[in-house]
Amino acid sequence: MGKLVILVLAAALVWSGYWFWGARTTERAITEQLNTMRAAGWQIDVRSRATRGFPNRFDTTFDEVQVTTPGGLTLVAPFFQLLALSYRPNQVIAALPPQIGLESVLGTAIITNDKARASMTVQPSPRLPLDHSSLVVDGLAVESAGRTLRIGQLRFATRLPEGAPDPSHQNIGLAVENVVLPDTLMEQLGAAGLGAIEALRLDATIELDAPLDRSALETPPAPQRIELHDLSLDWGDVTVEADGAVDVNAANQPEGELLLTVNDWRDALRVAVALGLVPEAQRSAVQQGLTLLSGLSGSGELSLPLVFDAGRMSLGPIPLGPAPVITFGG
């Protein structure tokens, strides 16, 4: 019995030593990462920071956080937590506050949620390459200039695709449910017989010019190719789907083609008119053009290539204007 007691005490002493060493290592790693980000142009202000959780966790809490990205986007939060099991430090859970302030050149917004949780697992190597991650937010609301966008649930996840050579390849998934647009838009949509957006889904594989690892916060990697396996929108009687692949050129604009399918283009046109995307005065001309494109078959389904070429984009023969810029920079 005496030997057993000594063994237990020795094990407890060793584990305690490991925990305090791990806590100091965690604090040192966070300090180094924050200093590196500040040198890269991030402005990070934290009133206080502490790592607790003895004996089985490394829980780091940041109080009164204000972060400004190199691109000028500022986030303000009352707290932020990084939680990890002491025996599995490469798996981190982030505890997000119920309210975050957001400031940009477009204005100020308040982001609230009923519940938000995120997690990230990195590979156990010095550069901490991303293996997989997830974010789930319930009851999300974004309020700006007296207008509020509400989302019932948002789910986002990344993982290494099967057979990926390194973490520069990532499979990303997004699911958004029950999107309620601001009141002014909802009034217009109500007149068109539409309510909340039931679902928006995305499944894609993205190839970056550098792996997603600890250096990504200093120099965000640039996308080189996007394979869109599924992009779908369910909104009332309207369903829109897209798939295909595009490369991203030196100007961060897509080059390639996606196939866009609308189950009922007449309802889709009605939505576009209700939102002001298509002027009422042009409705008849657009409807005639879409009727011709649908093959005069009488079918409500319409499939057209969404083409990105030389910095421009077009839907079938219809020019849409400049192609979007795709970047991860803050």
Q: What is the pLDDT of residues 72-122, one digit of tens each?
A: 899 999 999 999 888 788 899 999 999 999 998 888 999 999 999 999 998
* Predicted confidence (pLDDT) at residue 289 exceeds the cutoff of 90: no
CA–CA distances in Å: residue 309 to residues 93, 180, 225, 228 = 41, 34, 14, 17
Tell me, yes or no, whether 9 lies in a domain.
Answer: no
Round to whole Å and give the CA distance between 323 and 21: 51
Is there a domain that residue 143 lies in? yes
Asked if the structure places residue 201 within a domain, the reply is yes
Q: What tens digit of pLDDT does each residue of 13-62 get? A: 765 676 677 778 888 888 988 888 888 888 999 999 999 888 888 899 99
- CA 270 to chain centroid, in Å, comes to 29
Nearest to 56 by CA among 79, 89, 96: 89
CB atoms within 10 A of CB 300: 14
Per-residue pLDDT averaged across 300-307, rounded?
84
The pTM score is: 0.84
**Within a domain: 330:** no
Cα–Cα separations (whole angstroms), residue 322 to 78, 194, 310, 314, 329: 40, 29, 9, 9, 20
Does 66 score more than 80 pLDDT?
yes
pLDDT at 60: 93
Of the ranges 171-175, 290-294, 319-323, which is most confident? 171-175
Instruction: Report the sign of the C-alpha dihedral through residues 276, 233, 110, 159, in that order.
Output: negative
- The closest alpha carbon to 121, from 76, 81, 89, belongs to 89
In a domain, residue 27? The reply is: no
- How many domains would you assign to the chain? 1
pLDDT tens profile 168-223: 899 999 999 999 888 777 776 665 566 788 999 999 999 998 888 888 877 788 89
Residue 119 C-alpha from the chain's centroid = 13
Q: Which domain holds residue 88?
A: 42-322
Query: Residue 71 — φ and ψ, nearest 5°?
Result: -85, 0
Domain membership of residue 299 (yes or no) is yes
Q: What is d(CA 9, CA 58) in angstroms, rounded to the nearest whole number?
A: 22
Q: Which two tokens stand for residue 2?
A: 């005496």
Judge whether 75 lies within some domain: yes
